[in-house]
Amino acid sequence: MSITLWFDPSCPFTWRTSRWVREVAARRGEEVTWRFMSLAILNEGKDIPERFRQAHARSLGALRVLAAVDERYGQRAVDRLYTAIGGRVHDQEGELTHDVLAAALADADLPAELVRAADDVALDTLVSASHHAGQARVGTETGSPVTAVDDGPGFFGPVISAPPAAEDADRLIEALRLLSSVPEFSELKRARSPLS
């Protein structure tokens, strides 16, 4: 089984989903394919509060760094960097500043000069292509994360409030895999639990 996750590094729910996916894949000897999804691109031209617009701009900078890392060092380096960024932003309640990105690069054992990629708008082409590929996989405009199992369709979510324990984590991925195999299935939703 292969798992592809499109993520925006600023989203706390996506962070929790990514930890679940990563843990399940590692236990099963599988790898996660990390793809980029941008809330800045998703909300371009929409009337959103300024605080979200600023957060999305910072997240786009982080996505540029992640795209540069993917280009130069590959998926395992993306995994290490996203883990370092997420730990600093979501577990330690930091912001996606250049200082946090620089510290995360050091944590991920990647060259410090990659922080300059945060301001390299040429990388927006890679981020945008990945973003649009994820949206196409779902078939409609959707937020972060987007998850796909094997060659199946992409789905928004699953949105989880905390990574489930091993047995529940496995059941959840198997449920997603089962839903992916039913062409007529399109959506499930319930009230969102608070983050934990």
Q: Give the domain ranges of the chain.
A: 3-180
* Buried residues in 129-150 as b, exposed as e (16+ CB within 10 A): ebbebbbebbeeebbbbbbbbe
pLDDT given at position 22 = 95
Contact 11, 39 (CB under 8 A): yes
Task: Say whether pTM exceeds 0.85.
Answer: yes
* Buried residues in 103-116 as b, exposed as e (16+ CB within 10 A): bbbeebebeeebbe
| Residues making up the chain, counted from first to last | 196
Query: From start to end of 69-174, where are the E strands?
Result: 146-149, 154-156
pLDDT by residue, tens only, the chain of 196 residues: 789 999 999 999 999 999 999 999 999 998 899 999 999 999 998 988 888 888 999 999 999 999 999 999 999 999 999 999 999 999 998 899 999 999 999 999 999 999 999 999 999 999 999 999 999 999 999 999 999 998 899 999 999 989 999 899 999 999 999 998 898 888 888 888 888 8
Let me know the angle formed at the C-alpha of 55 by 142 and 98, rounded to the nearest 5 degrees.
125
pLDDT given at position 191 = 83
Can you name the CATH fold of 3-180?
Glutaredoxin (3.40.30)
Nearest alpha-carbon partner for 25 in 192, 151, 149, 162? 149
Q: Please, how many CA atoms are within 13 Å of residue 71, restricted to the half-sphere of its CB?
A: 15
Which residues are CB-neighbours of 43 under 8 A, at least 6 positions away? 52, 53, 56
pLDDT given at position 190 = 80
